[in-house]
Chain A
């Protein structure tokens, strides 16, 4: 609860910092406000984010601009079928000069990791990454290495090309705090994208020239540092959560467990994720307390990848989205289930 003057000032600082980040991102990425909000929520709470969407929705661009905006280390791994765990984590190599083994750290040692098309890699590689995400440390040889802080994984999945992919099992999906489904931009946003792209021009390189992309116009000057990020993380912890809000969360999570169309409901981790992400959303929206709208806005991203429909529901043509909609609609029409 933000009661003290210092808390208020840190909240104010956080809100200003968030506004600067959004402003900077908006110079490169058009629209996608929800994705930007979800990315910031993940960053402020330390929960990992899974983005589901077709290629070309500026997922990589968004993460790149975010890393440059906050002065964070950024790495990108394109997941493929032949990727090995050591390609991500690192390995021991023999230094021929000294005849000693040296540790070569992999790209996972970064602040912001974009795991592109995570479902294309074999389960062994997925498991290695997801274990690192959970424990925030990895083992190479006999040595343990803690991952840098902050450490955030933003993974992407393409929902349409399912051949040659390995679907993430529920237990591993549960490790992602949020799973956001990206949508296409609105016609106005798309027009703005085209307008900006047509004005990019070309860039001289060596003796020739290449067409400039959005990556070329990224401003390398960050608007804040890791300290500003820590201020935001503190501010999130100060956001007030009322008992009534907790009742709403428990009610929603409980209803997924008893719904007749669902085979698997939400785990307690879903409730925790809903609470944490709601606090971050409240801060992003300039509030120092959470309201039901935070929960309802984030419910789909927190819950949909954690529930599984039963055969009857699938045969009836129901989807996770429709079941969640019915659960949230029924919440006020009957007495509490808890």
Chain B
């Protein structure tokens, strides 16, 4: 049998503990939490039909989630989680609405969101909205860059080629026959500047390489073959002596030496045998 004094102590303790566990609206408790931290309201009974959290908006000051809603007579008993994003006093009812869409007419559920910053904290300036509709405008920049790249690519693909074609049409390359004829005429008229002798010698080498079918041969090997050729050899050797040997007979008339080449038709000079 329990002693009466002990029984009294137990009853007082039970009474005290049930008083602490009373719901908020009954106790009038003010829920508080610091900015960004999750706060919980448990066992709160709110009248009327079931409540749900309002859809989250871009600049919402509070994020609310209904964890549990249990029917409680003609009311509901809720477990609610909230994250306050702005310090100050708020009414949680502002972020709740009826599931069936009827008017909310809820009692005030006061919440205090505490700032951890000391008073007088300097706030950073608000970001200015740029000319792009969204901060950074990354997607727009990406689209713009893609379009630009596409345009440049198309220009490179077609614009450059057209230019080349035009250039090719307007400035046809001089053929070897033309080049050689110009130099031979200059020799004939004794108008060849000394600087062009090297060019003439190279052109004659190219001419004989084509004529004798030595285009794919090694240049030194081709030159040796040309020197051994009965038609080209004497002419090229004499020319070489005249140009490079300081002791050669400088009275040789170059125009006479090159005269046989002047009589070769242009198309023959271009022909690869």
Contacts and interface: CB of A to CB of B under 8 A. Distances in A.
Query: Is B one of A's binding partners?
Result: yes
Interface of A: 1, 3, 240, 242-245, 247-248, 251, 289-293, 296-297, 299, 325, 328-329, 331-336
B99 interface: no
B224 A244 contact: no
B198 A336 contact: yes
Interface residues of B, number: 29
24 contacts: A240-B245, A242-B243, A244-B194, A244-B197, A244-B244, A245-B244, A247-B199, A251-B202, A289-B245, A290-B244, A291-B240, A291-B244, A292-B201, A292-B240, A293-B220, A296-B219, A299-B219, A329-B219, A332-B202, A332-B205, A332-B206, A332-B207, A335-B174, A335-B199
Contact of B205 (A244, A292, A299): A292
Contacts of A335: 174, 179, 199
Contact of B220 (A245, A251, A289, A297): A297
Contacts of B224: 293
B203 interface: yes
Interface in B221-235: 223-224
B165 interface: no
Contact of A248 (B174, B176, B194, B202): B202
A245 B218 CA distance: 19
A333 B201 contact: no
Given A292-B205, A329-B209, A332-B176, A244 B243 contact: yes
Contact of A332 (B204, B240, B245): B204
A1 B246 CA distance: 7
B181 to A, nearest CB: 13
B194, B203, B220 pick with most chain A CB within 10 angstroms: B220
Contacts of A296: 219-220, 223
A8 to B, nearest CB: 10
A289 B198 contact: no
A242 B242 CA distance: 11
Interface in B119-135: none
A247 to B, nearest CB: 3
Contacts of A299: 219-220
Given A292-B205, A293-B220, A240 B194 contact: no
Contact of A331 (B174, B197, B202, B215): B202
A233 B179 CA distance: 40
The 4 lowest CB-CB distance pairs between A and B, nearest first, are A332-B206, A247-B198, A332-B202, A296-B220
Given A296-B223, A325-B219, A243 B194 contact: yes
Given A247-B195, A296-B219, A289 B202 contact: no
Contacts of B240: 291-292
A328 B219 contact: yes
A289 B206 contact: no
B228 to A, nearest CB: 12
Interface in B180-213: 194-195, 197-199, 201-207, 209
Interface string B156-189: 0000000000000000011010010000000000
Interface string B240-265: 10011111000000000000000000
Contacts of A3: 246-247
A322 to B, nearest CB: 11
Nearest to A336: B199
Contacts of A334: 173, 179
A242 B206 contact: no
Contacts of A329: 206, 209, 215, 219
A328 B218 CA distance: 9
Contacts of B199: 247, 335-336
Contacts of B245: 240, 289
Given A244-B244, A289-B246, A332-B207, A325 B198 contact: no
A325 B217 CA distance: 9
A241 B203 CA distance: 20
A220 B242 CA distance: 45
Contacts of B204: 332
Given A289-B246, A296-B219, A332-B205, 18 more contacts: A3-B247, A240-B244, A244-B198, A245-B198, A247-B197, A247-B198, A248-B201, A251-B198, A251-B202, A289-B245, A291-B244, A293-B223, A328-B219, A329-B219, A332-B203, A333-B203, A335-B199, A336-B198
